[in-house]
Every structure is written in structure tokens, then in C-alpha cells.
Structure 1
Amino acid sequence: MHSIWKQNVQLTKHPTLKGDLTVDVAIIGGGLAGTLIAYFLQKQGIQAIILEADTVASGQTSGTTAKVTSQHGLIYHQLIKDFGKNKATQYAQANQQAITSYREIIKEHAIECEFEDYPAHIYSTLDSKSLKEEALAAQTVGLPATFVTDTQLPFPVEGAVKLDRQAQFHPLKFIEAISKNLTIYEHTKVNNVEGQRIFTDRGTVTAKDIVFACHYPFMNKPGYYFLRMHQERSYVIALKNACKLDGTYLGIDPNGLSFRNSGDLLLLGGGNHRTGENSKGGQYNFLRGKAKEFWPQSQEVTHWSAQDCMPLDGVPYIGQFSHSTPHWYVATGFGKWGMTSSMVSAHIISDAILGKVNDYAEVFSPLRISIAESAKASLDETTHAVKSLSRQLFTKPNTEIEALPVGHGGVVEYEGDKVGVYKSPSGETFIVSTRCPHLGCQLEWNPDELSWDCPCHGSRFDYTGKLINNPAQEDLPSNK
């Protein structure tokens, strides 16, 4: 199913690249971050192009719940502890500036994108202590945060942190408006980058500066981003006949829920899990059960899912790609907060390319030395990858293809080999390799989305083996 954003917007189509090209700046990725970076550079007279493997906003931008907020869960108390007050303040101010920039751009171009000012809330049904600490930390870095106990949620809470003057909008209506005059090449897949040359399936682009705004950098080195973050999935159902809330809400408890209105619909989100760890499924049904519990009269209009890159220390990687590539830039690791992080990326990266000092760049720098607290997280990521590689290399499936029920998928033994199989409701069988082409981890079946997902680095493939999400760059080999 498609998100509500894709159901009521027809985005402008753009041409493919036709042959070789030389430009000032080439941006890989036509989502919100890449589009905003190009928009900012064009306003300063810089010749920038966007190279998009599919179509504009076809990736994670179309799956967002589009909360435009500086409130990113329980973050400011931890940022002050790990980075110090000054850098935590940079983080807060950069995101507040992002909200202001949305307002200014929308006003300047009279963009009709359902932009609405709303307070944002994080809440808990179990614990008020951490929320009180977070409210104090947010106030310390200059945010208009308060601890409250009354909400419009359909259940009692121990408390919530309310942050005023935040917002929400329709992301595709916004991106359609700002991308009209940009130079964008769709269906132009980047295969490799060497120095200042970008090799695509449509020609070679030579650029003074190159920006990786493709959600997850597909270049393993330099940068080694596959060791510095993992990917998580989350799920959303859109409901009519639910309720009207006084703002956006996010639960911080295990299995916490997300709420926001969009017109006469309520978007109910949750079911978070690491990509590749949903073998039992049931995430949409979990949300449907909550919907019927809270609003028995509600009806589901559509449902969809999203994928997010989770950085080790909780802060996005925005800026110079690596020490050895001064003219490469990256915008990744946005966690669940791609709307403000995209705008922060546009400010920081466009300023860097223009040679301007950005007051907030330091805390987001990809060149930062990992803090001590991230060492365990880095070890956890490595251990996770080793386990998945070992499963691919040394474990045998305990199921044969004949035993797999119709309408199900799984790792089975077929003609002496380990393969991934999906049997459609009509009985058609689809057989693919279980080895992720990125770094060789074993793929796992996701029954909620009929996809093969990599638990190591988050690459995803549909049941026919077609690539859905990077960092993998190619489809799965098929045995059919």
C-alpha cells in the first residue's frame, strides 16, 4: 500500500541523464535532503544537479509521518551528557532553524502543503522521571519545553514533554513545489564514484563537489558508514473516524505509539524493529488492534512502512564524507527525524560548498571521533554482522520447499542449496539467493511486507529479488 502522501499528489516527471556531463555539484539522491541542498545551491547561483535512481521522493521521503520538530525522543539529556551543553545547544538550534526555514520557504513561494503549527509531545505510560529530566535538558539548550500530565491521548499517561511551535506538513506537496526549477535526472542509477567522477548507467558525471544524499551511503569506504549505523523499520496505518489531537505525539516506552492528524485522518505508527528482525510479522495487525481498542468505529484507509538509519551516538552524519575526500559530502543517519535533518543538511552542506562557516556544523560532523559510549554500540553492530554472516555460511535450513505453505516465505533447502522462497496465494513460487550482495549477510523474510531484509545493514529486496533499499546496489540472483 502507498502512503497518503503518494495517493493525492502527482509529482512532475524528470528526464534521464543522456550522456556525459560536467557540473559544479552533483547530488546523489532525489529525496527531501537532496532536493533541499540543490534548492539552496541554486539560489546562490551554483550549478547543481540531482541524480536519482528511481523518481523524486520515491524513497524514504514518501514514507515519513512528516513531523517537523526539534523534539527527537529522549535526546537532549543524553546529548548534554555525551557531547556537553554547547554541542547539545548546536543540535537544538540547528533543528529550530530548520523549522523556521520551512516557514520562510513556504511563505516565499506561497506553497500549499498543509503546513500547520502544532506542539510536539513525547509521552510515557510508565515513567515520569526520564521525561522530567528531558524537559529540563531541553530548557537548558533553549527549547520551549514543559513537562505536562494532561494530554488528549485515548489513555492515561505518567507524563509528557510538550514542545511548542513545532509543525507538520505534506512532504510531497512541498518537494514538488521546490523541485520544479531544479535540474533532476530520474531513472539514473549511480553505480560508483571515483574522485570527482560519478559513473551512472546513463553516462559519467564529473563534478567539483559530490553529495551523497541517498539515505544510506552505498560506498563502503572511505567513511565506513556500514560500521557506524544500522537501519530500523516502522509501520503506519491511516485511520478515519478516529480522533483529533492537539499536536503530535510519540511514545518513549517499549512498543510506544506515534500519533498525528492529517486532515480528517489520524496516522497511527509503531511496531519498530531492526531491519531483518521481523520473521514473525504482525506489526500492522498490532496497530490495527490498538486502533480498534481506542476507536472501535475507526476504519483503515491505507497503511505503509518506513526505514530509518540509526547512528551510533544518536546524531546524524552531515558534512564532509571522510578525511580523505574533501569534496565529498554526506547526509545520513537521520534516525526517525528526516524532516528537520534534511533541512539541517541543506544548510550545513550548502554552506560548506560555498565556503561559509556554519555555526551548527561541528556537532553533526561525520569526522567526529566516536564518544566512549558509542564503543559498545559499535561492537554490537559488528557482532550482529558476524552472526548474520555465520548464519549464511554455516547454518542449514530445517525446511524444504515442499513444506512451505502457500502465501508464506522463508529460507529453505532446494536442490541441495540454501535459498529464499516465497509462495504466492496462487501457488506461484519465487526463488532467490539469501545472500545479501552488499557484504554477504543472510537475508531474512519479512511477512508484513513480503520482502527479503538484511539484518546487518538494512538492504531490502522484494519477493522477486528486486532491490528496494540500499546500501546494496544490485538485485538478488533468481533461481526461477
Structure 2
Amino acid sequence: MKSVWSRNYKIKEREALKSDIEVEAVVIGAGITGLLTAYMLKERGINVVVIERGKILSGNTKNTTAKITIQHDIIYNKLIKEFGEENAKRYAKANQLAIETYNDIIEANKIDCDFKREDAYIYSLNNSRKIESEYKAAIKIGIDAELVDEIELPFKIAKAVKFKNQAQFNPIKFLNYIAKDLTIYEDTTAIDIKEDTVITKHGKIKAKSIVVATHFPIINVPGYYFLRMHQERSYVIALENAQIVNGMYKDENTAGYSFRRYKDLLILGGSDKRTGNNESGGCYNNLREFAKKVYPTAIEKYNWSAQDCMTSDGIPYIGVYSKEMPNVYVATGFNKWGMTSSMVSAIIISDMITGEENDFCKIFSENRFDITASIKNLVRDGVETAYNFIAQKISLPMETIENVNNGEGETIIYNGEKVGVYKDNDGKIYTVSTKCPHLGCELKWNVDDSSWDCPCHGSRFDYKGNLLDSPAIKELKYEK
């Protein structure tokens, strides 16, 4: 399973850290956020290094749909109501600046990354009022938007809002350039942060400034980001011989679909699920059945999935990690809009480290937290987490190892303990602990991705127990 961006995925390999070092800044995580932040710091003359648990761009960055847009679902009407008009303007301006910054970097360096300006649409099949409210909110805060009755997709809609002059690109081509002159240590896992020092298995890195760009933050306390976010997975297929559309499209309904063009392919996304809640599978099949209905001659060329951190109020956390850690910075909770949010993060954090003023900090600060605006989501996430903590401790009737079919994973009771079992297509058995090493929640088998996923905070592991996604930093214990 590879994304369309990974088909010519060739980036120079880097060595692991081999000794203690001292620098001005260290960035943990070599995805798009970490690389952009390091790039901007280096451009300002800061001695910066990047460390990565695995390989550069091996995480969710390579699995994006790569839309660079300020159109982030139905959000602006909500922002005005909950945070006020000025903060809604700050959010929009920060993301518009992100688009223009991409444009400027790409043009100045003549980067061949298929960057293209496109309009972005949020549409509804049956709720005109919701779309009209979002349009009015967008106009109120100065967004160049238009209310339309028709779009290029092969079905009727009630209404759509068009956000003009947004963008899309190939993120791997872009980041291959961004990373070429950066000092990056691969296979270097950050284990802990102690004041001004990042501790890894291969040495210590002392730095005035530390940036945690690990998708989901790996330090639990202080910060407590595991109480403020959950993770969701989205699924994508790329189609040949489908209608090639101009623009980027997103259904306001969470059960709907997204569309964009890349060269001769149509990228179709959807089937969102909370991480850890996909034991029955069918996400790819859902996309395929929909594609067959609206694009009967289309041929699937690629399929992939991505994971996103979802905040309780719908806004990323960008800035100081915690008041107890003033030299440590964080960028997380991008709510499925990682391309613009990663650039916003790089701009804000590089400004903060170099002492530049930035008017956007307030809306993205971890201190903005308003429990009244987010109480429903907090309660929902709390119930989900509590359930899965309890599930790990109680014994329920489960499958026996003989009942696990080839190509499937199941949780079973073996010698009085819960064990995750996967049988490959040849019947070879792989077993792991079902207790997440992050905070102890019970892992669930993900049918579509053949992985063990944590429904509490979104850590993921392959069937051998190898770590795929944070916040966990340890592999699963492997049971022979």
C-alpha cells in the first residue's frame, strides 16, 4: 500500500546520531512540520538539527491528500461564535500566509513539485443553511469566497462555498528540496526531554530550543495533550479514467467524500474512523463502491490511509509546549489540514525562537483552552478512553488461536492473558501484547491496515509489534 506521492519516493538516507552534541535548536520529527521548522530556523542563521525515530518522511506526510487551503471544513462560523471575530480572522490570515509562503519558497527556489493554484469547495448534499452560514462567516472576516449552486462533481448538491485561489502540490517533491541541506539524524528515537536536553538511545542533544514535531506529542506531562486530542484515520484511493475535476472538494458531512486532481488521477478520500475503531474493516471497499457508482469506468491505481490528531475545539496547538517547559515548543492537532497547519507551525515557532513578533500565537496557544467550547468533545473522548482502559483489565470470552483465519488478527486469551494474534496468508503466527505501551489502553485490530491500533490516543503498531504512529515511543512486547 503506497500513496501516489511515494511512487518515486527517493530521499537521501541519513545516519543515526552517534554521540552527544550541542546545538541552538533541535527538532524532533522529520515530517513536513519538523522539516519546515528546521528549514526556516536555518534560513535565519540558527544552528539546528532534526532527529527522526525512523526514516525521513516515513510517517503521515507521505499519506496526505496534499491540499494547501484555508478551507478547513465548516469552521469559520464556529470560530466566530466560540472565539470571536478577531481570532477567526487570525486563524484565516495565518493559513492564507501559509499558502503564500509555500508559493514564495517554491518560486524563489524553482522547486518542481507540481504546485498549482486551485479553488477549494466545501459542499453539502442537503443542507443549504449550513453552507450559507459558513459563506457569511467567511465574507465577514475577509475571505475571498463565493456561494455557488453547482460544482463539477457528478452529482447534485444543495449549495457550496468556493474559497478562491488555494493550492495543491506533491509534498514529497517539495520536501526533498527543503531537506537537502538540513542536518538530520535518522533511526534516532527521542526517549525524554530534561530541561534543555533531548535524550536519545544514541546520545544527548543539548539545545536552547526544542521543537516537538512528532505528530502526536510524546511527552505526557506536562502538557497533557493526551487528554485534549484523539486520532482518526482516513482512507484514499487514486483513480485512473475518472472524471478529472478542476478544484478541490470536500463534503461537509463527515460521512462524505473529498476529491482533488493530480495529473491524470482523481484522488478520492473518505471513510473516516477513529483510530482503534476499525475491527470490521470495509473502509477501502466503501470508497471503491462509491467510485464504481459515480465513475464506472475508473481503475484504481493507488490506495493508502493517513492519521490525524483531532483537538477538542478544532484548532491546532502551536507554540510553547507548556508554561513549565518555556524552551520547548509543540505543533500538533492539525484536524486533517496538515499542509497549511504545518507551515503555520513553522512560521509561528521560528518567530518565537528568534524573538520575532507574531500576531497569530494567541489563537493557536495551548493556553487558549476553553472547556465550555469543547465540553461535548472532551466528554466523548473521556468515555472512549475510560472504556478502553477498563477493557484491558477485564477478561471476556474471546477467540482461540485455532479460530483465527489466515490473513486476520484477533485478540485471544492464552494461558490466562490477552494476546494479539495475527496469522499471515501462509498460516505463520505473530503474537503481541494488546496493552499499549503509551498509557496501557487495549489495542484493537485494524482490518484495513493490518495493524494494532490504540483507540485512546492513536498509537499504532504493525503485526510484528513495530511502532507505526506516536504517541507511544516503544515497540510492542513481542510474544513468541
- Whether the aligned pair in 1 keeps the contact of 2:236 and 2:270 (CA below 8 Å) is yes
Alignment partner, residue 255 of structure 1: 255
CA-CA distance at 1:416 after TM superposition: 2.3
Partner of 1:369: 369
Distance 1:356 1:102 in 2: 20
Give the aligned partner of residue 140 of structure 2: 140
Alpha-carbon separation, structure 1, partners of 2:403 and 2:180? 52
Distance in 2 between the 1:327 and 1:6 partners?
A: 35
Whether 1:313 aligns to 2:336 is: no
CA distance in 1, matches of 2:395, 2:343: 45
Aligned letter for 2:66?
Answer: A
1:361-412, Cα deviation, whole Å (9 max, x unpaired): 1100112232412123222222211100111101324221112222211111
Unaligned runs of 5+ in 2: none
Note the alpha carbon deviations across 1:215-263, whole angstroms, 9 max, x for none. Answer: 0111101000000100000000111101111200011124210101100
The alignment's C-alpha RMSD in Å is 1.0
Per-residue Cα deviation, 1:298-339 (whole angstroms, up to 9, x for no partner): 111110000000011100000000011110000000011000
Q: What is the aligned partner in structure 2 of residue 343 from structure 1? A: 343
Q: TM-score, normalised by structure 1?
A: 0.99
Q: Which amino acid aligns with 1:149?
A: D
What does residue 32 of structure 2 align with? 32
Residue 375 of structure 1 aligns to a residue whose secondary structure is: helix
> 2: CA distance between counterparts of 1:4 and 1:14?
24
| Aligned counterparts, 1:284-323, within 5 A | 284-323=284-323
State how far apart, in whole Å, the 1-side matches of 2:398 and 2:51 are: 43
Q: Residue 414 of structure 1: CA displacement?
A: 1.6
Equivalent position of 2:84 in the other structure = 84
- Asked if 2 retains the 8 angstrom alpha-carbon contact of 1:98 and 1:344, the reply is yes
Q: What CA distance in whole angstroms lies between the structure 2 residues aligned with 1:121 and 1:376?
A: 28
Match of 1:241 in 2: 241
Report the more deviating stretch, 390-399 or 199-208: 390-399
Equivalent pair of 2:254/2:272 in contact (CA under 8 Å): no
CA separation in 1, counterparts of 2:110 and 2:123? 34
Letter in 1 for 2:387: K
Q: What is the TM-score of this pair, normalised by structure 2?
A: 0.99
**Equivalence for 2:226:** 226
Whether 2:215 is the aligned partner of 1:200: answer no
Confirm or deny: 8 A CA contact 1:320 1:367 kept in the other structure.
Answer: no
Aligned residues: 480
Other-structure match for 2:407: 407
Is the CA contact 1:315–1:364 (under 8 Å) kept in the aligned structure 2?
yes
Q: Does 1:48 align with 2:84?
A: no
Equivalence for 2:396: 396
2:104 matched to 1:101? no
Partner AA of 1:175 in structure 2: L
Q: Where do 4+ consecutive residues of structure 1 move more than 4 Å?
A: none
Percent identity of equivalent pairs: 48
1: distance between equivalents of 2:371 and 2:43?
A: 37
Q: CA deviation at 1:452?
A: 0.5
Report the Cα offset of residue 159 of structure 1.
1.2
Q: 1:449-474 deviations in whole A, cap 9, x for unaligned?
A: 11000000000011111110011111
**Residue ranges of structure 1 left out of the alignment (5+ in a row):** none
- Which residue identity is paired with 1:265? L
Aligned counterpart, 1:211: 211
Shift of 1:476: 1.0
Question: Tell me, what secondary structure is at the counterpart of 1:384?
Answer: helix
In the alignment, which residue of structure 1 is the partner of 2:65? 65
Counterparts of 2:189 and 2:441, CA distance in 1: 23
Match of 2:14 in 1: 14
Distance between the aligned counterparts of 1:60 and 1:242, measured in 2?
A: 26
- Equivalent AA in structure 2 for residue 132 of structure 1: E
- Quote the Cα distance in structure 1 between the aligned partners of 2:185 and 2:108: 26
Q: Counterpart of 1:422?
A: 422
SS of 1:114's equivalent in the other structure is: coil
**1:445 aligned residue:** 445
Pick which of 406-415 and 446-455 moved more: 406-415
Q: Is the 8 A contact 2:218 2:470 kept in 1?
A: yes
Q: Which letter maps to 2:137?
A: A
Change in Cα spacing, 1:226 to 1:417, as seen in structure 2 (3 Å) is same
**d(CA) in 1 for partners of 2:288, 2:376:** 36
